[in-house]
Structure 1
Amino acid sequence: MTIAAHPLVSRARRLADDLLAPRAAQVDEEGVPVSHIEAVRRAGLLGVSAPREDGGAGAPEGVAREIAEILAGACCSTWFVQTQHHTPVKLLAKSELPVRGRLLRPLATGDLMAGIAYAHVRRFPRVPVRATAERGGWRFDGTVPWYTGWGLNDVMLLAGVCERGDVVFAFADARERPGLRPSPPMRLAALTAARTVSLELDGLWLPEESVVLRTPHESFARIDIPRSTNTSPAVFGVAYAALRVLENAPQGAEPAAALRADLDEVRRRAYALADHPVPHEHIEERLNLKTRAYDLLRAATTAAVVAGGGRAVDLRSPAQRLAREAMFLLIQGQTAEVRRAQLAALTQTRQSGESWPGPG
């Protein structure tokens, strides 16, 4: 079976065409509704990567990428909320600790929705959230700068760094409680709809049974490097959505065709590296392809705005929304290494006076 013919991909396309894309402008202004997350759950997409024996689909990674592209291109805010769910599911599937038995099946079936609160660990040796062993469990103190899906998620995967430098990952209920206080929803230039807050932790205590992983920071970083240097499928999803807008604009068909050919090639190469059996190899090539994909994303969304003229900056126009989503994706999941590569690529482009040279 090809990826395009997979039943979950077909469901994702129907969901995108029938619900997400038609309501994307409304969601951008009003926020992701619970009904959108429920629709993603009913389609079986929350369990795409979860093991079959635990209630998931056990689908190949290529299927998960295709679904992510489809959702991001249709409604990036909805994609961003639901994409948080998949990392906790994958981590639980690899765990042998008691929390696996309690949470994996309800997360795989979509009966529960998970968010993530651990991006701050990438700031090490800075420690925004400290984890301290206490009373047969762990106490968490500090600030989680970004937490997406507040009010939509049931549980969160929270991480803190303990005194010896280990990273402690544990599950907590995603609700205000003693020791956990959310900020008001953040007003962002893009994806405000995704209900992002910061979290103040002041003695939040979680039992040992909530822990899913404890690992040295060096081990976390080693796993995180290939994950952060691969290109997000959302970049391709939003870029292709912008090209569809461009194709339908006056004088847009020819530039859209040229950009699509370049984007297709970068996508092919980026996904081939994502599937490479040794994830820590070809880091420089992964970064190069990621920055090229970003360049094409900017070009596609900017071209959609240019071709649309004054109409493109109307809040009802998809062109301006896609351009703002592209700006957001430039920094989503960004690490210091990725930032350096992006800035170097932008500097080289400016010095050469050229756009990226294209595949090959």
Structure 2
Amino acid sequence: MTSSPPPPRRTTGRASPGRPSTPSKASGVLGVNAPAAYGGAEAPAAVGREIAEILSGACCSTFFIQAQHHTPVRTLATGEEAARERWLRPLSDGTLLAGIAFSHLRAHPKLPVRATRVAGGWRFDGRVPWYTGWGLNDLFLLGGGTEDGEVVFGVTGAHEQPGLTATGPLQLAALTGSHTVGLVLDGLVVPDEAVAVRLPHERWAREDLPKNTNTNPAVFGVARAALDLLDASGDAEAKDTAGVLRDRLDAVRRDAYALVDEVPPAERLDDRLVAKTRAYDVMRAATTAAIAAGGGRAFGLTHPAQRLAREGLFLVVQGQTPEVRTAHLAALRA
């Protein structure tokens, strides 16, 4: 059973009923950090972070779907030539939208998804507990672990095919528009020419660890949107609260981004975690303040304050590693 390529599709930027908007090709969002040689903007990282903040404040589902697209782009840009030449350009110019399925690799030495060498490619078996963008994405980057300690990343179509089926939509407290499902892999074969990267798990884990110690820009985006609600409320106390919290938000944002921009990725991990938990604190205060200022109305499902509060809770666990969980719980006990 060999994985089939995705059908070409262009994102429109207009949402269908029950679906979040997907960034249009013309916007350049999907290729913001992609190589210019492949049709991307190759913009500085700060531009990508600002886009993430804006999108997350407006709709965290839209942010989350497009955020995952950038990982396949970065992986293909430095990966195997055959996969790069086939998919990097349509991903960079926004013709195709991609997702990811590899957070389960962090469960090592467990192998929730096992990759096994077969003639002409790699067979994937197991279960992906969390996959975002089903029905929206054209393809996705799938990661699996081998018995001898290697990780294999391959590109496959984001649709049911021999060896790949999806569960029903997961019942989530937030981001229901993200089309998140589980994936069941039972003999999905990714051909060699669709393999983007193979490397030892130890190396992958070493490079992956710093990424999740950094503060997610979406935390600042959701917090900023909540503070904007306070400013627009017409209530003097709410506006005063927004001013105090905005100063705190700006301070932790500066610290968090300085660690990303000025410090090598594997250094000062403890400081990154401190900044991350401080950002959570400010986001929680901002979203709680928006609900407090809105009163009973803020609990209505059409009110943005309750949505931002629920999206903030999602961001607390999104991409959570044991190190992040330990640091966050320790900060809450302090």
TM-score by length of 1: 0.87
1:190 equivalent to 2:177? Answer no
Structure 2 Cα separation of the partners of residues 61 and 284 of structure 1: 22
Pair 1:152-2:136 in alignment: yes
How many pairs were matched up? Answer: 320
Query: How far does residue 126 in structure 1 lie from its aligned partner after superposition?
Result: 1.4
Assess if the C-alpha contact under 8 Å between 2:229 and 2:290 holds in 1: yes
Match of 1:119 in 2: 103
Q: Once the two structures are superposed, what CA deviation does each residue of 1:142-176 show, in whole Å capped at 9, x if it has no partner?
A: 00000000001000100000111111000010000
Q: Distance in 2 between matches of 1:212 and 1:133?
A: 15
The match for 2:84 among 74, 89, 100 is 100
Shift in Å at residue 40 of structure 1? 3.3
Show the counterpart of 1:317.
303
The alignment-based identity, stated in percent, is: 58
**Residue pair 1:55, 1:105 contacting (<8 A) in 2 also:** yes
Would the aligned equivalents of 1:31 and 1:195 in 2 still touch at CA under 8 Å?
no
Matched, 1:268 2:249: no
Alpha-carbon displacement from aligned partner over 1:222-249 (angstroms, at most 9, x marks no partner):
1111110000000000000000011223
List per-residue Cα deviations over 1:337-360 (Å, max 9, x = no partner): 100001111111xxxxxxxxxxxx
CA distance in 2, matches of 1:97, 1:347: 49
Q: How does 1:262-301 map to 2 (within 5 A)?
A: 262-301=248-287
Conserved? CA contact 1:160–1:169, under 8 Å: yes
* In structure 2, distance between residues paired with 1:143 and 1:56: 33
After TM superposition, list the pairs within 5 Å mapping 1:2-17 onto structure 2: none
CA contact (8 A) 2:226 2:287 kept: yes
Equivalent residue, structure 1, for 2:321: 335
* Aligned equivalent of 1:226: 210
- Please say if 1:242 is aligned against 2:226: yes
1:140 corresponds to: 124
Match of 1:31 among 18, 22, 35: 18
* Counterpart position of 2:9: none
- Whole-Å Cα distance in 1 between the matches of residues 276 and 89 of structure 2? 34
Could you list the per-position Cα deviations for residues 174-230 of structure 1 after superposition, in whole angstroms to 9, with x for gaps in the alignment?
A: 000110000011121000110000000000011111111111111111111111000
Query: Quick one: higher RCO (CA 8 Å, sep 6+), 1 or 2?
Result: 2
Distance 1:278 1:138 in 2: 34
Match of 1:70 among 54, 63, 68: 54
Give the distance between the partners of 2:108 and 2:322, measured in 1 at CA: 11
Question: 2-side partners of 1:113 and 1:66: how far apart?
Answer: 20
* Mapped partners of 2:26, 2:249: distance in 1: 32
Could you say what secondary structure the match of 1:150 adopts? Answer: coil
Q: Verify the 8 A CA contact 2:80 2:195 in the aligned structure 1.
A: no
Superposition map of 1:178-217 within 5 A:
178-217=162-201
Counterpart in 1 of 2:35? 51
Query: 1:168 touches 1:211 (CA, 8 Å); kept in 2?
Result: yes
Q: Is the Cα–Cα contact under 8 Å of residues 32 and 78 in structure 1 kept in the other structure?
A: no
Distance 1:176 1:156 in 2: 12
Checking the alignment, whether the CA contact within 8 Å between 1:115 and 1:155 is kept in structure 2 is yes
Q: Check the 8 A contact 1:240/1:260 in 2, yes or no.
A: yes
TM-score (norm 2): 0.93
Give the deviation of 1:41 after TM superposition.
Answer: 2.5
* Structure 1 residue 95: Cα displacement: 1.7
More off after superposition, 279-288 vs 92-101? 92-101
Secondary structure of 1:126's counterpart equals coil
TM-fit CA distance, 1:31: 3.2
CA distance in 2, matches of 1:329, 1:304: 17
Q: What amino acid does structure 1 have at the position aligned with 2:118?
A: E
Q: Secondary structure of the equivalent of 1:308? A: helix
Give the letter for the 1:299 counterpart.
A
Q: CA shift at 1:125, angstroms?
A: 1.3
- Cα distance in 2 for partners of 1:191, 1:319 equals 14
Match of 2:289 among 295, 303, 317: 303
CA RMSD of aligned residues (A): 1.4
- Partners of 1:96 and 1:118 lie apart in 2 by 18
Per-residue Cα deviation, 1:14-47 (whole angstroms, up to 9, x for no partner):
xxxxx99xx9xxx9xx6324xx21x433211100
Query: CA-to-partner distance for each residue in 1:234-285, whole Å, 9 max, x for gaps?
Result: 0000000000011223220111100000100000010011113511011000
Q: Counterpart of 2:104 in 1: which secondary structure?
A: helix
The one-letter amino acid paired with 1:63 is V
- Separation (CA, whole Å) in 2 of partners of 1:32 and 1:273: 35
d(CA) in 2 for partners of 1:211, 1:202: 18
Aligned residue type for 2:34: A
- The 8 Å contact of residues 170 and 210 in structure 1, kept in 2 or not, is answered as yes
